[in-house]
């Protein structure tokens, strides 16, 4: 895209942000006609101040608009930037690497090395190190695609497909966190097909969970509810004691379905799905990380809070939060706990307790900064907190807002 005129780059990023020309013009304080002329190259952008303002509205680095290489962030900053998103996109676009029909069987790392790399990527995600993960994902995607193609006709074919299915799911989860929902859906959808070749029903079930999450993020709520509930019904344990991994995937599908039902205000379905997930967690007998789900009684408690927030019932969410088993909660991985703090911050704003909402944001930031600083949802919650704070915001919140680029 570097060779495109700046107007075309503006149009590209406006489209990526799903803004109409009118909305974009309103945010810039310009006319729709002005935007149209800029994007068609009829009007030149010859003032840096205007270019910087456009970059700010589009939430991209100004160097991307100018067609120059972006100065990469230092390793200490841990968000996924636009350059890294484009590199992940490029890896997903390499259709020639996905099949030996189109090129010679590529060289790929040994599967033993791939297993270690995939396991490390899962842990990196669950510790909310999104920037670190983003810098490894493009190569991991290419390596996993190459391994899947190279082993297509070998006894290791299912193992290679299983690893690729996992990598697609990691990519889907990370992309959803930073608002790249269409890409998240694409990666999750691919994982379903690859999981079938891997011969693993539970991996395919978990891929369906990722599809449901992406659809929910895209506002496709009823399809999200249907895919989670339908696949959960197919994985429902029989009368015999079920294995932990099956219970975990089944339970997570129910929890995700409950989140979708809450989004459309269907409290009865929310209640039924949460009860089903709770029963599965009791059968499981504790909190585990089977298939990287972090499923168990504590995660069910967290989803009781989250669904209450989605239903607009902040008081119920806060009351459920205060009853959470603290031993189980502190045993969960950082991403899950910080995500919960963000949910409860939303709950506190719903009941007007801005001080406690601020505390929850700060707790989440101390635990897993990327879960708060990198997510568009967290930016929205912090903006709401600042808007409703009387007088000068407390210093810690003001500092967090400055670091996140949220106006005080």
Whether residue 292 is predicted with pLDDT greater than 90 in this model: the reply is yes
Backbone angle region of 108, left / alpha / beta, with phi > 0 → left and psi within -120 to 50 → alpha: beta
**What per-residue confidence (pLDDT) applies to 99?**
58
What is the model's pLDDT at position 73? Answer: 46
Least confident window among 1-10, 197-206, 364-373: 1-10
Measure the CA–CA gap between 135 and 370, rounded to whole angstroms.
Answer: 14
Name the residue among 109, 126, 194, 118 with its Cα closest to residue 157: 194
Query: Average of pLDDT values for 229-237?
Result: 95
The CA distance from 90 to 314, in Å, is 41
Task: Name the nearest CA neighbour of 250 among 262, 238, 269, 237.
Answer: 237
* CATH architecture type of domain 6-65: Orthogonal Bundle (1.10)
- CA–CA distance, 372 with 310 (Å, rounded to integer): 18
The arithmetic mean of pLDDT across residues 70-87, rounded, is: 66
pLDDT over 60 at 332, yes or no: yes
Q: What gap in Å lies between CA 398 and CA 326, rounded to an integer?
A: 29
Domain residue limits, the chain: 6-65, 345-408
pLDDT at 307: 98
Percent of the chain with pLDDT strictly greater than 90 = 69
DSSP structure class, residue 108: -
What's the mean pLDDT in 257-277?
98
pLDDT at 100 over 70: no
pLDDT higher than threshold 70 for residue 97: no
- Is the pLDDT higher at 65 or at 148? 148
Rounded CA-CA distance 258/269 in Å is 7
Residue 70 has pLDDT above 60, yes or no: no
Output DSSP code: residue 332: S
Between 269 and 87, the more confident residue is 269
Its pTM stands at 0.81
SS3 content of the chain, % helix, strand, coil (to 5): 70, 0, 30
What mean pLDDT do residues 337-358 have? 97
Look at residue 1 in the predicted model and tell me its pLDDT.
Answer: 47
The predicted-structure confidence for 308-329, as pLDDT tens digits, reads as follows: 999 999 999 999 999 999 999 9
- State the Cα–Cα distance between residues 187 and 80, nearest whole angstrom: 17
Any residues with CB less than 8 A from the CB of 50 and at least 6 apart, and which?
none
CA atoms 78, 83, 86, 91: torsion sign: negative
């Amino acid at each position: 895209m570097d060779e495109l005129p700046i107007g075309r780059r503006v149009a590209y990023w406006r489209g990526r942000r799903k803004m109409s020309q009118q909305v974009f013009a309103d945010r810039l304080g310009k006319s729709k006609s002005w935007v149209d002329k800029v994007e068609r190259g009829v009007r030149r952008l010859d003032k840096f101040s205007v270019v910087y303002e456009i970059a700010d509205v589009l939430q991209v680095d100004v160097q991307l608009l100018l067609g120059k290489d972006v100065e990469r962030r230092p390793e200490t900053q841990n968000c996924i930037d636009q350059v890294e998103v484009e590199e992940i996109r490029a890896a997903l676009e390499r259709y020639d690497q996905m099949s030996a029909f189109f090129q010679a069987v590529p060289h790929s790392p040994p599967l033993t090395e791939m297993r270690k790399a995939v396991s490390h990527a899962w842990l990196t995600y669950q510790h909310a190190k999104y920037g670190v993960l983003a810098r490894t994902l493009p190569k991991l995607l290419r390596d996993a695609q190459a391994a899947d193609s190279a082993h297509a006709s070998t006894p290791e074919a299912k193992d290679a497909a299983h690893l690729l299915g996992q990598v697609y799911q990691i990519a889907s989860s990370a992309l959803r966190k930073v608002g790249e929902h269409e890409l998240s859906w694409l990666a999750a959808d691919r994982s379903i097909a690859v999981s079938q070749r891997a011969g693993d029903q539970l991996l395919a079930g978990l891929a369906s969970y990722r599809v449901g999450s992406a659809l929910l993020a895209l506002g496709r709520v009823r399809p999200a509810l249907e895919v989670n509930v339908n696949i959960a019904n197919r994985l429902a344990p029989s009368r015999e004691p079920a294995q932990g991994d099956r219970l975990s995937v089944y339970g997570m599908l129910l929890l995700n379905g409950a989140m979708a039902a809450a989004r459309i205000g269907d409290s009865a379905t929310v209640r039924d799905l949460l009860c089903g997930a709770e029963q599965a967690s009791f059968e499981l007998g504790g909190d585990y990380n089977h298939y990287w789900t972090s499923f168990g009684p504590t995660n069910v408690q967290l989803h009781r809070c989250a669904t209450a927030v989605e239903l607009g019932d902040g008081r119920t969410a806060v009351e459920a939060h205060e009853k959470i088993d603290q031993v189980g909660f502190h045993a969960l991985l950082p991403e899950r706990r910080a995500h919960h703090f963000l949910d409860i911050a939303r709950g506190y704003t719903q009941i007007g307790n801005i001080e406690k909402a601020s505390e929850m944001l700060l707790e989440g930031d101390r635990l897993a900064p990327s879960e708060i600083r990198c997510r568009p949802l967290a930016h929205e919650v912090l903006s709401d907190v600042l808007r409703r704070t009387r007088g000068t915001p407390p210093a810690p919140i003001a500092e967090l807002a400055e670091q996140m680029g949220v106006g005080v």
